[in-house]
Chain A
Amino acid sequence: MSKASFTSRRAPVHHYVLAVILGAILTIAVSLLVGVSNPGDFWLAAGIGALCAAYPAMSLGARVFVSRHTVTRDPHGEQSVELQWMRQAGAGAFLDVLVATIVVAAVLAVGRIGVDALPVLLGLVGLSALDAGLRYLAIRHRALK
Chain B
Amino acid sequence: MKNNIAERRAGRQWTQADLAAALGVSRQTVISIEREKFDPSLPLAFLIARTFDCAIEDIFTAD
Q: Do A and B bind each other?
A: yes
- Interface residues of chain A, those whose CB is within 8 Å of chain B, are 3, 5, 74-77, 79-82, 84, 140, 143-144
Alpha-carbon gap, A80 to B33, bound state (A): 10
Assuming the contacts A76-B47, A143-B38, asked whether A82 and B31 have C-beta atoms less than 8 A apart, the reply is no
What is the predominant secondary structure among interface residues of chain A facing chain B?
helix
Considering the complex, give the chain A residue whose CB is closest to the CB of B26. Answer: A80
Chain B residues near A82: list those with CB within 8 A: 26, 28-29
A142 to chain B, nearest CB (A): 8
B40 touches A79 (CB 8 A): yes
Please state if A144 and B28 are interface contacts (CB–CB under 8 Å).
Answer: yes
- Rounded to whole angstroms, the CA-CA distance of A80 and B31 in the bound complex is 11
Chain A residue contacts of B41, Cβ below 8 A: 79
Residues of B within 8 A of A79 (CB): 23-25, 29, 40-41, 43-44, 47
